[in-house]
Amino acid sequence: MRALVLPASGEQPTFAELPVPTPGAGEVLLRVRAAALNPLDNHIAAGALEQMFEHRYPLVLGRDASGVVEAVGEGVDDVAVGDEVLGHVLFEPPFQAGTVAEYAIVPARTVVPKPADLDHVTAAALPLAGGAARMVVDAINPQPGQVVLVNGASGGVGRYAVQLLSQLGLTVVATAAPADAERLRELGATEVVDFTAGSVAEQVRTAHPDGVDALINLAGYTLAEVPLDAVRSAGVVCTTTQVPDADTLAARQLSGGGVIASPTRDVIAPLAEQAAKGELQVDVYRVLPLDQAPDGLAELAAGRARGKIVVDLSL
Ligand SMILES: NC(=O)c1ccc[n+]([C@@H]2O[C@H](COP(=O)([O-])OP(=O)(O)OC[C@H]3O[C@@H](n4cnc5c(N)ncnc54)[C@H](OP(=O)(O)O)[C@@H]3O)[C@@H](O)[C@H]2O)c1
């Protein structure tokens, strides 16, 4: 099978011909129809997680897939060969399986039937970004009437997070460059703050002098990039970039910390159902053939991600 791989530690992503893998116990082999790209793929390609988890090479890139069940491993009896499904490669060691390939192994506990009304490209765009959005929204435990700031709202995770918060009736303050402002309002943002126009925290404090109740942080890898000063005393912060950490928050009389998404079936299935019913918008802004997957990763790394980039294996 053709796959986008890291051949060895420190090497650049490249295409390789690999044997079609055999699913082990609790695993499902998919014939991949579509695979979404995520910043995590670039982090793995850069070797940023090598100290955290064992990496086995060649390592196939990609975590999200929609496709057709080709084979199931021992103990998997809830999906059958030929089923159209979505699945996800969880953030668990060892890192080796991936979805930017003609076939992919995914844990059965992430596999859900693809609703008939959802095409493969749209379905593939859901698991990690949608799962992370679900997790950060749940993590802040939002209460009726609260104001929530979403920093990095214009990206893959943010577009889902804004919608999930809006569905709860919260006031959603979203950060975005001007080109994305209108779309974020359509997705449910009450206010949009232009992060290219100066300090986000200062802009938010102008409109909300007492500060927002919670911050969902989806952008920025240094403390200076995170608009913590926008959050009121005793507010809650949840971050997917792992900045700031819980100690930094506690020192500022804030609670919360980093989350690692674990989009298993219970998380993915409701997102897929919502998307199929049109209750959750899925912004896929670029669809690429397999050969151009590296261009998609480069585009994601460069910023300006206006939703999801998806590799379509049928192109
Ligand atoms: N912990 C987890 O489990 C988990 C899960 C998923 C994602 N993540 C992480 O969460 C982050 C977001 O993921 P994603 O998939 O949404 O990424 P993405 O699609 O690349 O989106 C990132 C967004 O941040 C915006 N942005 C860039 N600089 C900004 C700034 N200074 N202020 C506000 N917004 C800014 C970008 O806007 P422009 O395009 O206009 O620059 C882009 O829309 C990434 O760091 C990713 O690795 C973690």
Q: Could you identify the residue written with the tokens 């790394």? A: 301
Residue 105's DSSP bridge partners are 29
Question: How many whole angstroms from 24 Cα to the centroid of ligand 1?
Answer: 34
Query: Going along 51-178, which residue ranges are E strands?
Result: 59-60, 64-72, 84-88, 103-107, 112-113, 147-151, 171-176
Per-residue model confidence (pLDDT) at position 303: 87
105 and 181: one domain? no
End position of a domain, from candidates 242, 258, 274? 258
259 lines ligand 1 (CB under 6 A): yes
- Distance CA(303)–CA(219), nearest Å, equals 11
- Distance CA(209)–CA(202), nearest Å, equals 9
96 and 143: one domain? no
115 and 176: one domain? no
Question: How many whole angstroms from 195 Cα to the centroid of ligand 1?
Answer: 13
Is 164 domain-assigned?
Answer: yes
Segment 188-192 long-range contacts (CB within 8 Å, at least 24 positions apart): 188/162, 188/163, 189/150, 189/153, 189/162, 190/166, 192/153
Signed CA dihedral, 285, 260, 290, 102: sign only: negative
96 and 205: one domain? no
| CATH at 92 | 3.90.180.10
Contact 157, 216 (CB under 8 A): no
116 and 149: one domain? no
193 lines ligand 1 (CB under 6 A): no
219 lines ligand 1 (CB under 6 A): yes
Is 106 domain-assigned?
Answer: yes
Residues 6+ apart with CB under 8 A from 119: none
Per-residue model confidence (pLDDT) at position 305: 76
112 and 204: one domain? no
Is 168 domain-assigned?
Answer: yes
Q: Which 3 state secondary structure label does DSSP give 256?
A: strand
185 and 157: one domain? yes
77 and 180: one domain? no
Residue minimizing CA distance to atom 11 of ligand 1: 218
Q: Which 3 state secondary structure label does DSSP give 9?
A: coil
| CATH at 232 | 3.40.50.720
103 lines ligand 1 (CB under 6 A): no
Q: Could you identify the residue written with the tokens 């991600």? A: 305
Domain that holds residue 22: 2-125+282-312
Smallest CA-to-CA distance from 45 within 189, 21, 37 is with 37
Per-residue model confidence (pLDDT) at position 58: 98
- Enter the pTM of the model: 0.98
Question: How many whole angstroms from 126 Cα to the centroid of ligand 1?
Answer: 15
List per-block mean pLDDT (blocks of 10 residues) for the chain, which spans 315 residues.
97 97 98 98 97 96 98 96 98 97 98 98 98 98 97 98 98 97 98 97 98 98 96 98 94 96 97 98 98 97 90 98
Give me the helix-helix angle, 127-139 and 156-167, nearest 10°. 50
240 lines ligand 1 (CB under 6 A): yes
106 and 136: one domain? no
Give the nearest ligand 1 atom to 261 CA.
3
Output the CA torsion 297→301→302→308 (10° steps). Answer: 60
207 and 300: one domain? no
304 lines ligand 1 (CB under 6 A): yes
295 and 307: one domain? yes
203 lines ligand 1 (CB under 6 A): no
Residues 6+ apart with CB under 8 A from 258: 238, 239, 240, 241, 242, 243, 245, 246
Give the nearest ligand 1 atom to 304 CA.
39
What domain count does the chain have? 2
Question: How many whole angstroms from 156 Cα to the centroid of ligand 1?
Answer: 7
Q: Compute the half-sphere exposure of residue 89: CA atoms within 13 Å on the CB side of its CA.
A: 29
102 and 157: one domain? no
Residue minimizing CA distance to atom 46 of ligand 1: 39
Question: How many whole angstroms from 152 Cα to the centroid of ligand 1?
Answer: 5
- Distance CA(63)–CA(128), nearest Å, equals 8
Question: How many whole angstroms from 111 Cα to the centroid of ligand 1?
Answer: 25
Contact 133, 262 (CB under 8 A): no
Per-residue model confidence (pLDDT) at position 50: 96
